Structures are given as structure tokens and as C-alpha cells.
Structure 1
Amino acid sequence: MSRASSYAVDMRLFLLIALTMCAFASNSILNRLAIDSGASDPAGFAVVRVLTGALVLAGLVKLRGGRLTLSNRRRIVGAGSLSLYMIGFSVAYLTLDAGLGALILFGVVQITMFAATSLTGTIPTAKQLAGAGLALGGLAWVLWPSGAIQVDLVGAVLMATAGVGWAIYSLAGRSEPDALEGTAANFVVALPVTAVALLALGDAWQMSVFGYVLAALSGGVTSGLGYALWYRVLPQLVPSTAAVVQLSVPVIAIVAGVILLGETAGPRLVVGAVFVLGGIALAVARPRRG
């Protein structure tokens, strides 16, 4: 492959990853907008999110002439880990600060995916570890709560469980033969498990029309299509790289919150964002060929 062709492939992959991370960050924005405005409760938002994701993805598969395979080993791992993530994430945020929850989530995702990489024989390089540490440190600088820290143990355990679930979901995507069909099947199988668990653990169903719209947008577009896109790019990434690039999601969400929701930003965000992006660049940069 020529240098120009290689550059074009790398740029295309970079753009797909950037689009996927923006979709993930949009989920956070939509969730915060729905919950903070009182338009939805966390459990209801999550159930509608999975439902609309399943409907949109299954519809796209049918329009494409494909079929959903709901009973194989991939669904046990994919749908099971997706349910674990959705349940842990939704219930944990009932007691956790948003920033601390995101820090626990992405820290556990990174640790789990790095551990899985090492167990499969692909030990992360010193540069990847340094970049991951730098990015995680920058994220901690941005998200660490000010003042006294009160961490609910149950919430922290649930968010850590969600992180393990998302890490497994990401690792499973590397072997998925069809990104769209695999994601659709995962959503369909995860729907009843997630719905029963969240409705049993959550508060009474409280959603306005605006809440339904936000949850449907999150499920059908930024979750469903975003996760399908994630499954498409994952086979082209080693797990350590996939883990590190996701540390950009909270920073993108915070910047988007400043632009779209009128939230405030200060030097702490700017400095932390520089460390996160610099760490990601260090971890994913390829060595120059002589």
C-alpha cells in the first residue's frame, strides 16, 4: 500500500472513531438534559433508549434484507454485557455524582480492556501505557469533585460493574461478523433483561413527551447507530487503543454541554482536555517508518 493510500485509510478510520465518540458523548448530553430537566426518570429513559435502539436497528436490518440471529454464543456475551452496562450505569447515577461516575466508568473500562489485551498475549507498550495514564490523569483532573468527596459504595460498585460490562461489549465487537446485525440482535435480546431489571430497581415511571423524544433520539440514533459504528471500527483497533480513545468521551460531552446547554467552563477543563487529548495521541500514534 502506498503512503497516500495508507494516509487515506488512517484518516477515514480517525473520522469514524471521532464520529463514534461524538455519538457516545451525545448520549451523555441527551441523558443529562432529560434527567436534569425532570422530563424523565433514569430507569424510564434507559428502557425507552434500549427499546427504540432495538426497533431502529432491527428495521434497518430488515430493510437491508438481513436477519437477526438471537440465539448463539455471541448474543450471550454481547447482549449480556450490554444489559450489564445499561443496568449498572442507570442505577449507579441515582447516587453518584456525574463526574465521579464517569471517572469510575472509564477507568474500569480502560483497566479491563488493558488486562484483556495482556491476557491474550498482546502486552501494551510503554508508550501506550504512558499515554493511557496521561489521558486518565487529565480526565481525573477535569471530573474530580470539588470539596468533600462522598462516594456511595453501592453506586460505585454498580458503575464499576457497568464499566466491566462495556469493556466486554467492546471486546466482543472485535469478532462480530456484521456490525449492524450484531448490534441489532444485542439490543433486541438485551431489551427484556434491561427493562425488567430497571423497572424493578428504579422509581415509578415518570416521563413527559419531551423525555420520550430525548430517550428515543438517544436510543435510535446516538446509541443504536453509534454502537453499530463502534462495532464496525473495533476490528481495526487493538483493545488498548479502543480503551484509550474512549477517554475522550467525557471531555467531548463537557465541551458540548458548554456549547449547547450553557454550562460553564474554566481553566481546569482546558488543561484537563489538553492532557486527555495529548495522552490519546501518544497512545495511538504509530512509530515513524524510516
Structure 2
Amino acid sequence: MPFRVLMFTSLAMLAFAANSLLNRVALSETDIDPASFTLIRLVSGAVLLWLLHRLKTPVHTRTVSVAGSWISAFSLFVYAAGFSFAYLSLTAATGALLLFAAVQITMMAVAVWRGERMTFWQLTGFMLALAGLSVLLLPGVSAPSWQGALLMMTAGGAWGIYTLRGQGTTDPLHVTAGNFLRAVPMAVVCCLLVGRTHFDSLGVMYAILSGGVASGLGYAIWYSVLPFLPAMSAATVQLSVPVLAALGGVIFLSESVSIRLFIASVAILGGIAVVLWGKTAPQPE
């Protein structure tokens, strides 16, 4: 892999992991509420992505139309809102693991529903990932909040659907900017429904960093390297995100990693890796 591709891929994964850390620290250590955080994140992401698209697009080909679709925007909003509300009660590591597991399981389930047959190893990996998820969610002292876990898995499912809807997009930067923009009024409605919103100055800064840098710039970097990565490598490299989030939580947020979380992480990430590896295995006639 060329050094430039490796460097930008690493930066994208760090940006994705930073989203979990920024959400967690904002909602645990500042007074900003999750609805306001979601709104600011989407607005700042839309602004930065739009600016990047304008800089990338030649003047004579620019249009004023908003790309994307309302269905994709709704999936994006459900992901962003569920992500923020879930971090009221989850650690950065647990949230990232649940999110990543839900995204991959959703995409696997859709592939099977569309008629894709799973090999023995893919089925084994899928069952191992589900077993790891069960271990994490079983009642106990170190079990995550079930409300937070449900919200994060809903967010992961929504992001999985959003990703599937974006496959084959010819101009992902333009489409993503449009979807972020379309999701903003949904976040406004969410703030009105929730009420008691509070814009904490430090929390607003974290939300802008999450939306503008970790989301907007992170997605832009990721889209720039995707054409140079084989599909298998692009899928596998994302296994690093929950690990990076866990390390960041320990270093920056003084979070601890329980034995239960460690075992669940090995099972979930290992199972998903087996499924991804199984896609490259020769299919019997």
C-alpha cells in the first residue's frame, strides 16, 4: 500500500474514532444536551462538506441544487441523534463497539436478504459476532445501559442503511454534503420536541469539531482513499475504529476496559473479520 494512501487511511480511522471521544466527553463533561450536539454537528458537517465540494468542483460545472435524498438524510439523522443520546450512558469504547457491530451486522443481513449466500466461514463468523454481542449485553455489573445500547445499535443500523444507499455514488462528497444539509431541519425538530436545550460553549466547540473535522473532514479523506483500496481492505481496516476509541477512552477520558468488554470485542471484531475474510474465499460451483 503506498505511504500516502496508508497515511490518509489512518487519518480517516482516527477521525472516526475521535467522533466517539468527542461525543462522550461533550455529553459527560459539559452541559450541552444531545439534541443540540446533534444539530451543531450536522450543521458544521454540512458547511465544511459544502465548502470542500465547492473547492473541488470547477466553477463552470457548479450547481445550486442540493444532492442526496430525504430517505438517506433521515438515516443520517437517526444515526447522528441515536449516537449522541446513547453516549449519555455509554463509554467511548462500548459505544464504538456497539455501533460498529450494528453497522456490519445490518449490512450482512441486507446482503443475505438480497440473496447473497454465506459460506461456512462467513456463517461461523456471523454467529461468533452475535455471541460476542450477547456477552456484552448480558445483565451484570459491567453490562452497558440497555437504553444506551439500544440507541447505539439503532444508530448503527441507520448508518448501515445509509452506507448501503450510498454505494455506487459518483460524487460522494456532494451527496454527503446534501444529506447533511437535509438532515439539519430534522435535528431542529428534534430540539423542539426534546425541549430544555442548552448550548454550552465548550460543548459547542466539541460538536463543531465532531461535525466539521471528525465527520466532514474525516469522510472527505476516507472518500479520497477508497478508490485506491480493495473492498476487502476498506472493510477490514474499519475494525481498528473500536480499538482506537477504546485506547482514546483510556488515555483521554480515564475509562477502564472490563474483561467483559475485552472478550466481547475479540468475539465481535474477530467474527466480523472472519465474515470479511470469507467473502474472498473461493465459492464452490
**1:164/1:287 Cα in 2 relative to 1: closer, same or farther (>3 Å)?**
closer
Partner of 1:76: 70
- Quick one: distance in 2 between partners of 1:118 and 1:247? 21
TM-score by length of 2: 0.76
- 2:219 maps to which of 227, 232, 239: 227
Alignment of 1:104-253 (within 5 A): 105-135=99-129, 137-138=131-132, 141=135, 146-147=140-141, 158-197=151-190, 199-231=191-223, 233=226, 237=231, 242=235, 248-253=240-245
Deviations 1:75-111 (A, max 9, x none): 23322211222233334555x5457766654444333
Q: Which moved more, 1:159-168 or 1:224-233?
A: 224-233
Unaligned runs of 5+ in 1: 1-7
Do the aligned residues in 2 keep the contact of 1:86 with 1:194 (CA within 8 Å)? no
- Indicate the RMSD between aligned Cα atoms, in angstroms: 3.7
State the one-letter code of the partner of 1:211. G
Aligned partners of 2:40 and 2:207 also within 8 Å: yes
- Provide the C-alpha distance between the structure 2 equivalents of 1:27 and 1:208, rounded to a whole number of angstroms: 18
Alpha-carbon distance in 1 for matches of 2:149, 2:263: 26
Does residue 239 of structure 2 align to residue 257 of structure 1?
A: no
Cross-structure match for 1:41: 33
**What is the percentage of aligned positions where both structures have the same residue?**
42
Deviations 1:40-60 (A, max 9, x none): 211111111111101111111
- CA distance in 2 between partners of 1:258 and 1:229 (Å): 26
CA shift for structure 1 position 33: 0.8
Distance (Å, rounded) in 2 between the aligned partners of 1:65 and 1:282: 40
Distance 2:46 2:144 in 1: 37
Distance 2:111 2:252 in 1: 37
Structure 2 SS opposite 1:262: coil
- Counterpart of 1:64 in structure 2: which amino acid? K
Contact preservation (8 Å) 1:103, 1:139:
no
Q: Which amino acid letter does the alignment assign opposite residue 113 of structure 1? A: M
1-structure distance, mates of 2:139, 2:10: 27
Q: Distance in 1 between matches of 2:129 and 2:244?
A: 13
User: What is the CA–CA distance in structure 1 between the aligned matches of 2:161 and 2:63, rounded to whole Å?
Assistant: 21
Q: 1:267 to 1:105 in 2, by over 3 A?
A: closer
Q: Normalising to structure 1: TM-score of the pair? A: 0.75
Distance 2:256 2:11 in 1: 24
* Structure 1 residues 156 and 272, CA gap change in structure 2 (3 angstroms): closer
| 2:275 aligned with 1:283 | yes
Q: Which moved more, 1:23-32 or 1:112-121?
A: 112-121
Q: Distance in 1 between matches of 2:16 and 2:168?
A: 21
| Runs of 5+ unmatched residues, structure 2 | none
Q: Are 1:139 and 1:272, in contact at CA under 8 Å, matched by a contact in 2?
A: yes
* Equivalences, count: 273
Q: Cα distance, 1:281 vs. partner?
A: 3.9
For residues 7 and 140 of structure 2, the distance between their equivalents in structure 1, rounded to whole angstroms, comes to 34
Whole-Å separation in 2 of the counterparts to 1:160 and 1:129: 21
Shift of 1:28: 0.8
Report matched runs for 1:23-42 at 5 Å.
Answer: 23-42=15-34
Distance 1:230 1:145 in 2: 37
Distance in 1 (alpha carbons) for counterparts of 2:63 and 2:251: 39
